[in-house]
Structure 1
Amino acid sequence: MEVTTHRRDAQILAGLGYKQELHRAFTPLEVFGIAFSIIGLVPSIASTIGFALPNGGPGALVWGWAICATMVMFTAMALGELSSAAPTSGGLYFWTFKYASSRYRKLLSWIVGYSNTMGSIAGAASVQWGCAVQLVAAVSIGSGLTFTATSAQIYGVYVALLVLGGIVASTASALVARLQGIYTCLNLLLCLALIIALPISTPSDFKNDASYVFSSLPNLTTWPNGFAFVLSFLAPLWTIGGFDGPIHISEEASNARTAVPWAIVSSVGVSGLIGWGINVVIAFNMGKNMENIMASSIGQPMATIFFNSFGTRSTLAIWSIVVAVQFTMATSALVSTSRQIFAFSRDGALPFSRFLYRINPYTQTPANCVWASVLVAMLLGLLAFAGSTAINAIFSIGIIGQYVAFALPVASRLLGGVPWTPGPFNLKKLSIPVAITMIAWSVFSMVIVMFPSTPDPTATEMNYTVVVGGGWLLLCVAYYYLPVYGGRHWFVGPISNIEPIEQAERRESLSDAEKASVEVLEK
Structure 2
Amino acid sequence: MEYYKHDIFSSGVELHSLDGHETNVFGGTRHDEYDMTRMGKKQELQRNFRFFSIVGFVVILQATWESSLIANSFGLFNGGTAGVIWCTITVWILVMAMIASMSEMASIAPTAGGQYHWVSEFAPPSMQQPLSYLVGWCCCLGWVSAIPACGQMLAGLVQGMVLLRYPNIKITALWQTTLIAILFVLLVFAFNIFAARYLPLAEGIMLIVHVIGFFAFLVVFWTLSEHVSANRVFTEFQDGGGWGSHGLSTLVGIATPLWCFIGPDSGAHMSEELQDASIQLPRAMMWATFFNGIMGIAMLITFCFCISSVDEVLESTTGMAVLEVIYKITHSYAAVCLLGTLLIILSFFGTVTVVAAASRQCWAFARDRGFPHSDWIMRIKWDIPLNALLVCMVLSVLIASINFGSEVALGAIVSVSNAALIFSYIISVGCLRLKRWRGERLPPRRFDLGRWGGPVNDITLVFLIVSFVFSFFPQAPSVGDPDWAANFNWAFPMFLATCVFAFIYYRCGGRESYIAPVRWVKNE
- TM-score calculated relative to the size of structure 2: 0.90
| More displaced stretch, 124-133 vs 413-422 | 413-422
SS of equivalent residue, structure 1 residue 260: helix
Alpha-carbon offset, residue 181 of structure 1: 0.3
Select the residue among 491, 498, 501 that pairs with 1:475: 501
Structure 2 counterparts to residues 357-372 of structure 1, below 5 A:
357-360=378-381, 363-372=382-391
Structure 2 counterparts to residues 92-171 of structure 1, below 5 A:
92-144=115-167, 146-171=169-194
| More displaced stretch, 138-147 vs 314-323 | 138-147
- Give the letter for the 2:128 counterpart: R
Match of 1:427 in 2: 449
| More displaced stretch, 53-62 vs 322-331 | 53-62
Alpha-carbon offset, residue 474 of structure 1: 1.7
Match of 1:509 in 2: none
1:348 aligns with 2:352: no
Taking a change above 3 Å as real, the CA distance of residues 232 and 117 of structure 1, as seen in their structure-2 partners, is same
Residue deviations 1:226-245 (CA, integer Å, cap 9, x gap): 11111111101011111211
Match of 2:231 in 1: 211
Distance 2:284 2:522 in 1: 22
1:332 aligns with 2:376: no
- Give the letter for the 2:279 counterpart: T
Match of 1:511 in 2: none
- Give the letter for the 1:298 counterpart: T
SS of equivalent residue, structure 1 residue 17: coil
Residue deviations 1:425-475 (CA, integer Å, cap 9, x gap): 111111011111111211110101111122225110001111111211221
Distance 1:2 1:218 in 2: 57
Alpha-carbon offset, residue 25 of structure 1: 0.4
Alpha-carbon offset, residue 387 of structure 1: 2.7
Alpha-carbon offset, residue 145 of structure 1: 5.4
1:253 aligns with 2:257: no
Alpha-carbon offset, residue 171 of structure 1: 3.9
Distance 1:149 1:35 in 2: 32
SS of equivalent residue, structure 2 residue 441: coil
**Conservation of the 8 A alpha-carbon contact between 1:61 and 1:283:** no
Taking a change above 3 Å as real, the CA distance of residues 35 and 129 of structure 1, as seen in their structure-2 partners, is same
**Conservation of the 8 A alpha-carbon contact between 1:61 and 1:280:** no
Distance 2:307 2:239 in 1: 16
Residue deviations 1:392-435 (CA, integer Å, cap 9, x gap): 11111111111111121221122255521241111111101111
SS of equivalent residue, structure 1 residue 463: coil
Taking a change above 3 Å as real, the CA distance of residues 168 and 365 of structure 1, as seen in their structure-2 partners, is same
Residue deviations 1:284-326 (CA, integer Å, cap 9, x gap): 1111x22221121112222222222223221111101101111
Alpha-carbon offset, residue 388 of structure 1: 2.6
**Conservation of the 8 A alpha-carbon contact between 1:172 and 1:364:** no
| Identity level (%) | 21
- Give the letter for the 1:180 counterpart: E
Alpha-carbon offset, residue 172 of structure 1: 5.8
Distance 1:301 1:126 in 2: 18
**Conservation of the 8 A alpha-carbon contact between 1:22 and 1:252:** yes
Match of 1:397 in 2: 416
Distance 1:181 1:324 in 2: 14
Match of 2:429 in 1: 410
1:441 aligns with 2:441: no
Distance 1:410 1:234 in 2: 21
Structure 2 counterparts to residues 306-321 of structure 1, below 5 A:
306-311=326-331, 312-321=333-342
Q: Which runs of 5+ in 2 are unaligned?
A: 1-20
Q: How many residues align?
A: 492
Distance 1:261 1:147 in 2: 48
Distance 1:27 1:304 in 2: 39
**Conservation of the 8 A alpha-carbon contact between 2:147 and 2:185:** no
**Conservation of the 8 A alpha-carbon contact between 1:347 and 1:495:** no
Distance 2:400 2:69 in 1: 19
**Conservation of the 8 A alpha-carbon contact between 2:65 and 2:260:** no
Residue deviations 1:237-272 (CA, integer Å, cap 9, x gap): 011111211100111101101111111111111111
Alpha-carbon offset, residue 173 of structure 1: 5.0
SS of equivalent residue, structure 1 residue 170: helix
Taking a change above 3 Å as real, the CA distance of residues 495 and 518 of structure 1, as seen in their structure-2 partners, is closer
- Give the letter for the 1:279 counterpart: L
Distance 2:396 2:250 in 1: 30
Match of 1:222 in 2: 242
Distance 2:519 2:212 in 1: 44
Distance 1:102 1:496 in 2: 11
Alpha-carbon offset, residue 174 of structure 1: 3.8
1:3 aligns with 2:26: no
**Conservation of the 8 A alpha-carbon contact between 1:148 and 1:297:** no
Distance 2:252 2:501 in 1: 28
Structure 2 counterparts to residues 174-189 of structure 1, below 5 A:
174-189=197-212
Structure 2 counterparts to residues 269-288 of structure 1, below 5 A:
269-287=290-308
Alpha-carbon offset, residue 148 of structure 1: 4.1
Distance 1:400 1:251 in 2: 26
Alpha-carbon offset, residue 7 of structure 1: 3.8
**Conservation of the 8 A alpha-carbon contact between 1:14 and 1:20:** no
Match of 1:40 in 2: 63
Alpha-carbon offset, residue 218 of structure 1: 2.5
Q: Which runs of 5+ in 1 are unaligned?
A: 498-516
Alpha-carbon offset, residue 352 of structure 1: 2.0
